């Protein structure tokens, strides 16, 4: 054994076991949500007091269980999951058994009010209630829950055609697609284009060559996984210690300037579509009567940094801004190799307001760039 060999085996051990851990987390999340869907359907069909709740069942259930990530909408999605994929029931039963849980014991603890349920977690009648078409090529259930994250599967739920759904399952697994890639292919009608193509195999090769692959961070930071693990914002937000130190000191710096900054939050989590995003610092400016969103990047200057900040600005303008507020403004601070760059960002329609009013009250670019350089020298 030499040093290079040592480096390789340590890296390989880390990579392999990290991937295994992520797959395990995702598989358990998928199993939990399928089980929830199963129990909801079982209760709707056999619950002794089901008439008491009727159409408000999921609302009542979400309120009583009070589990983060299991709001009424999520429960509805779990119910849909079970209805679309009843065939994975046996795999889930086997998975639970491998964890040391007896399906009958789980059934008893969660469905003791049901009076017509077998001693299995899934009844054959249920599995046959929505069978997969006999002539349909289907992805094996164990492969489905181990290779596709729950976030991937959710993108497939709106697809009514089982053949179309299986097509995307197969292509997604084959290319190890990210969730965004799966969305992109669905939205650009890849299934329909493949059906119309004279050379579908060639189209598939082209798509797979260009496809964005999934990664560990995408899975862990999805809203479903994030809430399933009970993670807090600070647990996943910072890329490195330098960024954390700069954000902490920047907060102090802006408050000490006395320009009307009132601190609202650090690593402020917002939900856009079905993905969470984190804004490094959020202030409310009492003089300007607007929110100030601050983003710090330890990176080369990239166009998408401004694009991301403008996305946050538009979100605040639409979802957070009150009637008597002025439009929000963003501050982007970028540093790489001891260099500093500061950019202000506003919605395009608010540019005149920024020039005529905001620039008077906000710290100058030079002040902020000097701050970054001082921090880098002291780090």
Delimiting residues of CATH 3.40.1350 domain(s) in the chain: 233-378
Nearest to 286 by CA among 316, 308, 254, 313: 254
pLDDT digit of tens for each residue in the chain (379 aa)?
Answer: 888 888 999 989 988 888 788 788 888 999 999 999 999 999 999 888 988 988 899 999 999 998 888 889 999 999 999 999 998 888 888 888 777 766 554 454 444 433 333 333 333 333 333 334 444 567 888 899 989 999 999 999 999 999 999 999 999 999 999 988 999 899 889 999 998 888 888 888 989 988 888 877 666 667 677 677 766 655 554 445 566 777 778 878 888 776 688 989 888 888 887 777 889 899 999 998 999 999 988 777 778 888 899 999 999 999 999 999 999 999 998 887 667 888 888 887 777 777 778 787 888 888 888 888 887 776 5
Give the span between the Cα atoms of 303 and 306, in whole angstroms: 6
Query: Which architecture does CATH list for 233-378?
Result: 3-Layer(aba) Sandwich (3.40)
φ, ψ at 330 (rounded to 5°): -115, 150
Q: What phi, psi does 49 have (nearest 5°)?
A: -110, 25
The answer to whether the beta carbons of residues 350 and 358 sit under 8 Å apart is no
188/186 Cα distance (integer angstroms): 5
- The angle at the Cα of 121, spanning 119 to 124, to the nearest 5 degrees, equals 85
Res 115: pLDDT: 36
d(CA 332, CA 237): 17
Two structure tokens written together for 85: 């994929």
8 A C-beta contact, residue 334 and residue 341: yes
Q: Whole-angstrom Cα distance, residue 343 to residue 330?
A: 8
Task: State the pLDDT at residue 123.
Answer: 39
Report the predicted TM-score, pTM, of the whole model to 2 decimal places. Answer: 0.60
Q: Are strands 275-285 and 329-336 parallel, antiparallel or unpaired?
A: unpaired
Q: Are 321 and 327 in contact (CB under 8 A)?
A: yes
Task: Give DSSP secondary structure letters for 275-304.
Answer: EEEEEEEEEEETTTTEEEEEEEEES---HH
Sign of CA dihedral 335, 336, 340, 343: negative
Q: What is the pLDDT of residue 30?
A: 93
| The CA-based dihedral angle spanning residues 239, 240, 242, 244, taken in that order and rounded to the nearest 10 degrees | 60
């Amino acid at each position: 054994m030499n040093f290079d060999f040592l480096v390789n085996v340590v890296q390989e051990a880390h990579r392999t076991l990290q991937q295994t851990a992520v797959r395990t987390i995702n598989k358990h999340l998928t199993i939990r949500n399928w089980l929830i869907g199963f129990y909801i359907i079982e209760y709707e069909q056999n619950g002794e007091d089901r008439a008491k709740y009727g159409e408000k069942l999921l609302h009542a259930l979400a309120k009583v269980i009070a589990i983060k990530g299991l709001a009424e909408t999520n429960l509805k999605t779990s119910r849909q999951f079970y209805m679309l994929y009843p065939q994975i029931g046996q795999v889930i039963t086997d998975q639970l058994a491998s964890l040391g849980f007896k399906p009958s014991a789980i059934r008893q603890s969660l469905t003791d009010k049901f009076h017509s349920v077998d001693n299995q977690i899934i009844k054959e009648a249920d599995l046959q209630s929505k069978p997969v078409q006999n002539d349909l090529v289907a992805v094996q259930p164990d492969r489905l829950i181990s290779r596709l994250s729950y976030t991937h599967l959710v993108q497939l739920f709106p697809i009514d055609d089982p053949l179309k759904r299986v097509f995307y399952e197969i292509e997604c697994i084959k290319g190890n697609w990210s969730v965004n890639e799966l969305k992109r292919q669905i939205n650009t009608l890849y299934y329909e284009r493949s059906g119309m193509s004279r050379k579908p195999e060639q189209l598939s090769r082209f798509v797979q060559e260009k496809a964005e692959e999934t990664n560990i961070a995408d899975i862990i930071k999805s809203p479903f996984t994030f809430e399933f693990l009970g993670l807090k914002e600070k647990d996943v937000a910072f890329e490195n210690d330098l960024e954390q130190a700069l954000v902490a000191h920047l907060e102090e710096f802006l408050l000490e300037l006395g320009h009307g900054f009132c601190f609202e939050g650090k690593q402020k989590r917002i939900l856009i579509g079905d993905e969470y995003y984190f804004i490094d610092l959020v202030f409310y400016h009492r003089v300007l009567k607007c929110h100030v969103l601050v983003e710090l990047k330890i990176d080369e200057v990239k166009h998408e940094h401004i694009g991301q900040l403008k996305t946050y600005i538009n979100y605040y303008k639409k979802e957070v801004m009150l009637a008597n507020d002025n439009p929000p403004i963003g501050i982007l601070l970028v540093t790489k190799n001891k260099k500093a760059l500061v950019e202000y960002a506003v919605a395009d329609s608010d540019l005149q307001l920024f020039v005529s009013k905001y620039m008077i009250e906000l710290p100058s670019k030079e002040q902020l760039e000097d701050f970054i350089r001082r921090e880098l020298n002291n780090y």
